[in-house]
Chains A and B, each alone.
Chain A
């Protein structure tokens, strides 16, 4: 006999077959409902909440929880957006930032994008470029914060997820890198291109974390990948690389360390 569960606060009269995904969906739907009934009091709170939801999207994406990711995405999309204080100034600063970035003047670009995103915090392009420049300047925490802000404004922005994946990859945060790459693929306008980008990273990226994250993401979506997972190894001077002929490891110099 089929077991049933009712998501009674949403559909008091409807019973449907129980499934773990539905329990998660019920929980997230409750969150969605709560978010719409109790709007956050201040923008600051909203900002913190948004970052929390972006983190949730990362976690859920890393386990390929499609329903969960979509529900949190909807919560973010319902959140109130900040209002521009000076949209004209923001546009001008944004153009300056783009020009500077094109000329690789990263500090100038950073200042301009900061100005643009302060004058119009709802301008997702400006906030996204701010994150990009901060990543290029190896300011990872600020980059993460800006990219999360961009994703809070537009949670389906594939390119921002991709940049966030790079930030986590460079910080050796493997799990979040996988989540961010998974969302890169999920929201890609052209999934085949995203797949090929992932394969390119999986085969050629020098950062172990990012390379392994790309491999894991391809596997998460059951996409073909040839490279085997290579965990970042701690130095072990007693063992030489795998012998390609015999397929076994062999000790160096009769087991002595060099």
Chain B
């Protein structure tokens, strides 16, 4: 099928362009872990969850000789408890070689390296362990200590905050963080731990007895354990996150647009369903040279025809046969209040269908009389025409372009501009003000 083959070819080309060597595998997981740390350090829970999900979607190594690994791990733990770090390292290493798919073994091996001040090895093993289990609190603690010992208080804080955020039982982790803020620890560890105690509290855990509040509020878990414990971060993570909800609701309404020219596939882009009778908005530059058009929104496919188009603003309206109960609602807002709000972008960069990314609104720009929303969410060729979504699910802009120089300087045509254009049909499309419901 043409749709599939065009996408597949792009994916193949992409795979060929990026050799999947041993080093690359580590770089990929390290990138995601560093993103989790950076978002954690900025107290961006959504960002942390997004990259956690990316890690959880990676292919896992298969469990190998776990029967052989188990006693070796036990032996390692005993040696570690006796401060026999070299012996612990030897045992954990053998356990890891026997079964490298066990995140706890990898995490313990990392800890043994840390205790021996072999920080590079400790970091690599901790990153690897977290790629297997991104919510493993103990390993985040180890990684935080590693960064603290290298003097990197920012990353230490981000990693410690994740340890706290993902703790099944936050109380002992908070106690451990408290201990790290004092005593003989490196200054960066102390600073990082202090920051984590402020940042890392899970969303539903504002009233922890070990939070920075001097006296515990009466609703917290008592030492006797008679009161119900506060909701653990793991429990809250099991419920749908905002990013997950936006993705689930938006993906069936986000379209891959394929253009054909002289009988061949010519271009790929994105679009969004805006009416119940199958009208799709995209960028004019996506479709301007096409002889024929095909679209896929979620699982459904259709041919498409150009209903309206304009060069400035760079917009096009396509008619398809994709009737749908659900449709995107355009948000009319275009004011300074938008700056700093979280945005979510879905599109098909380089044919990678349904790629989901996050960022914030960085600014409002008017270029050649057209109103743009500047966003920090990653956008690449193929995202053009796709929706930029606010946390209420409404569309605030249509991804249109990015600056090649600099980083994450991307622009979406403001939905306000779409609503003001001749493309907008109030009888068939829906708009709302900022904070409105749809």
| Inter-subunit contact A191/B25 (CB<8 Å) | yes
Q: Considering the chains assembled together, what is the distance between the CA atoms of A193 and B64 in angstroms?
A: 12
Interchain CB contact (< 8 A) of A224 among B22, B96, B124, B128: B124
Task: Report the stretch among A108-116, A137-145, A181-189, A243-251 that lies at the interface.
Answer: A181-189
A-B Cβ contacts below 8 A, count: 45
Contact B23 A226 (CB under 8 A): no
> B214: CB under 8 A from chain A?
no
Interface size class of A (residues with CB under 8 A): 20 to 34
Which of the segments A26-34, A172-180, A196-204 contacts the partner chain? A196-204
* Interface of A, helix, strand, loop or mixed by DSSP: helix
The 0/1 profile, CB within 8 Å of B marked 1, for residues 229-252 of chain A is 000000000000000000000000
A224 to B21 CA separation, bound complex (whole angstroms): 18
A contact residues around B120 at 8 Å (CB): 224
Does A66 contact B22, Cβ atoms closer than 8 Å? no
Q: Nearest CB to that of B127 among chain A residues?
A: A192
Contact A190 to B61, CB < 8 A, known contacts A196-B97, A224-B118, A224-B120 = yes
Chain A contacts for B96, CB-based, 8 A: 193, 196
The answer to whether residues A188 and B93 also contact, given A199-B121, A224-B118 and a CB cut-off of 8 A, is no
Produce 1/0 per residue, B111-130, CB < 8 A to A: 00000001011001100100
B31: Cβ under 8 A from any A Cβ = no
Give residues 185-223 of A contacting B (CB, 8 Å): 185-186, 188-197, 199-200, 221, 223
Residues of A within 8 A of B23 (CB): 191, 221
Q: How far is the CB of B24 from chain A (nearest CB, A)?
A: 9
Contact of A200 with B93 in the complex, beta carbons under 8 Å: yes
B129's nearest neighbour on chain A, judged by CB, is A192
Q: A189-B61, A226-B118 are in contact. Are A195 and B100 (CB under 8 A)?
A: no
The distance from the CB of A54 to the nearest CB of chain B, in whole angstroms, is 20
Question: Chain A, 70-98, contact with B by CB distance < 8 Å: what is the 0/1 string?
Answer: 10000000000000000000000000000
Q: Which residue of B lies closest to A225 (CB)?
A: B121
**What's the nearest-Cβ distance from chain B to residue A156, in Å?**
12
Whether B19 sits at the interface, judged by CB under 8 Å, is: yes
What is the bound-complex CA distance between A103 and B89, given in angstroms?
31
Closest residue of chain A to B24 (Cβ to Cβ) is A191
**Contact in complex: A186, B100 (CB < 8 Å):** no
Query: In the complex, what residues of A have CB within 8 A of residue B128's CB?
Result: 192
Contacts of A190 in B (CB 8 A): 61, 100
B: number of interface residues (CB 8 Å): 19
User: Which residues of the partner chain A approach B125 to less than 8 Å between Cβ atoms?
Assistant: 192
Complex CA gap A185/B128 in Å reads 16
CB of A193 within 8 A of CB of B118, answer no
Q: Which residue of B lies closest to A185 (CB)?
A: B22
How close is B267's CB to chain A, nearest CB, in angstroms?
Answer: 23
B80 to chain A, nearest CB (A): 17
Q: Cβ of B118 and Cβ of A191 under 8 Å apart?
A: no
Across the interface, which residues of B come within 8 angstroms of A188, CB to CB? Answer: 22
Set A66, A186, A196: member contacting B93, Cβ < 8 A: A196
Contacts of B25 in A (CB 8 A): 191
A189 to B20, CA, bound (A): 11
| Chain B neighbourhood of A194, CB < 8 A | 22
**What is the distance, in angstroms, from B132's C-beta to the closest C-beta of chain A?**
10
Q: Mark A27-47, 1 if CB is under 8 A from B, else 0.
A: 000000000000000000000
Tell me how far the C-beta of B17 lies from the nearest C-beta in chain A, rounded to whole angstroms.
14
CB-based nearest B residue for A70: B19
Asked if A66 meets B124 with Cβ closer than 8 Å, knowing A191-B26, A193-B96, A193-B100, the reply is: no
Q: A197: which B residues are within 8 A, CB to CB?
A: 97
Q: Which residues of A contact B97 (CB under 8 A)?
A: 193, 196-197, 200
- Which residues of chain B are within 8 angstroms of A221 by Cβ–Cβ distance? 22-23
- Which chain B residues border A66 with CB–CB below 8 Å? 19, 21
A-B CB proximity, top 9 nearest: A191-B22, A224-B120, A193-B100, A192-B128, A190-B61, A190-B100, A224-B121, A191-B25, A196-B96
- Contacts A66-B19, A192-B100 aside, 19 further interface pairs with beta carbons under 8 A come to A185-B22, A191-B22, A191-B23, A192-B106, A193-B96, A193-B100, A194-B22, A195-B124, A196-B96, A196-B97, A197-B97, A199-B121, A200-B93, A200-B97, A221-B22, A221-B23, A224-B118, A224-B121, A226-B118
11 contacting pairs across A/B (C-beta < 8 A): A190-B61, A191-B23, A192-B106, A193-B96, A196-B97, A197-B97, A223-B124, A224-B121, A224-B124, A226-B118, A226-B121
Interface set of B (CB-CB < 8 Å, partner A): 19, 21-23, 25-26, 61, 93, 96-97, 100, 106, 109, 118, 120-121, 124-125, 128
